[in-house]
Amino acid sequence: MPILTRYSIVCQIPGAEPYTICAYNGADLSQALGITQANLPEGHYGWIQECGEAFVKVSGQTQPAYADFRPNAAKRDLKEELSKSPQEQDKNPLAREALERLSQLPPLLMEAGAYCGLIREARDVFVNCHFYACVAMCGISFERFQRDKATPYGITRKHTMKQVRSILRKNKILLPETLDLCKKMADLRNDYAHGHGLNPKEDALKSLDWMRSFIDNETDLMRNYVIINGTLNRTPVAGTKT
């Protein structure tokens, strides 16, 4: 196995012993385990950042990013847990259920920003079975992203979210479909903020689905890149020569 350089995105080698890793190749994140934070000699996996702010290599440069590959590890751990006898599984059903919820979430590799910590909290409270709080945190993370994007255009804390979305739409800062998602998320979050939520688990899943669409639209690093040998490489624009 070649040496993995700093900021490589890594995955587990299929069929190998657990945590036997290599640089990850591909366009999706379904097998990625983390990002290396040190040079890794052959036969060593060292320390790998699974979740949080990190740097990724892009054509010799480094770019700040936020990664959360915990759902991939959860799928691996859940498979191992389900291979045990029913008696063994019954010893810790709450832990298994948390793994099941975490495994439902998409892995993330997105542009770093203040909103990332809020997104992590929204995902964490879902995993911990706090569905009411999940809806609220999804709404808060959407709001922070919008306000950050609108700040260069004179938006302050005194402006309503309706005014913020109007500024973003007028200046074409976010896609129209993203702004529609933001409006739906704000309405749902307000229902829960005022104690009117009726289906917390279903609405938490709906909110997280909207969050995934929002990230795909606006801040997912994989929109424009493919992973080759563990580093990000810009995807050629259709019709251009490589």
* pTM for the model: 0.87
pLDDT in the model for residue 1: 47
Q: What is the pLDDT of residues 209-220, one digit of tens each?
A: 999 999 999 999
Residues near 98 by beta carbon (within 8 Å), at least 6 away in sequence: 127, 128, 129
The band of 101, judged by pLDDT with boundaries at 50, 70 and 90, is very high
Task: Tell me which residue of 121, 132, 136 sits closest to 187, measured CA to CA.
Answer: 136
Q: Is the pLDDT of residue 123 over 70?
A: yes
Two tokens, residue 47: 């320390």
* Three-state SS sequence of the chain: CCCECCCCEEEECCCCCCCCEEECCECCCCCEEEEECCCECCCCCCCEECEEEEEEEECCEEEEEEEECHHHHHHHHHHHHHCCCHHHHCCCHHHHHHHHHHHCCCCEEEECCCHHHHHHHHHHHHHCCCHHHHHHHHHHHHHHHHHHHHHHHCCCCCCCHHHHHHHHHHCCCCCHHHHHHHHHHHHHHHHHHCCCCCCHHHHHHHHHHHHHHHHHHHCEHHHCEEEECCEEEECCCCCCCC
pLDDT in the model for residue 240: 45
pLDDT in the model for residue 41: 67
CB 205 within 8 A of CB 125: no
Task: Tell me which residue of 73, 82, 63, 64 sits closest to 30, measured CA to CA.
Answer: 73
Highest mean pLDDT among 10-19, 59-68, 133-142: 133-142
Parse the chain into domains and list their residue ranges.
Answer: 9-234
Return mean pLDDT, the chain: 88
Residues near 125 by beta carbon (within 8 Å), at least 6 away in sequence: 131, 133, 134, 137
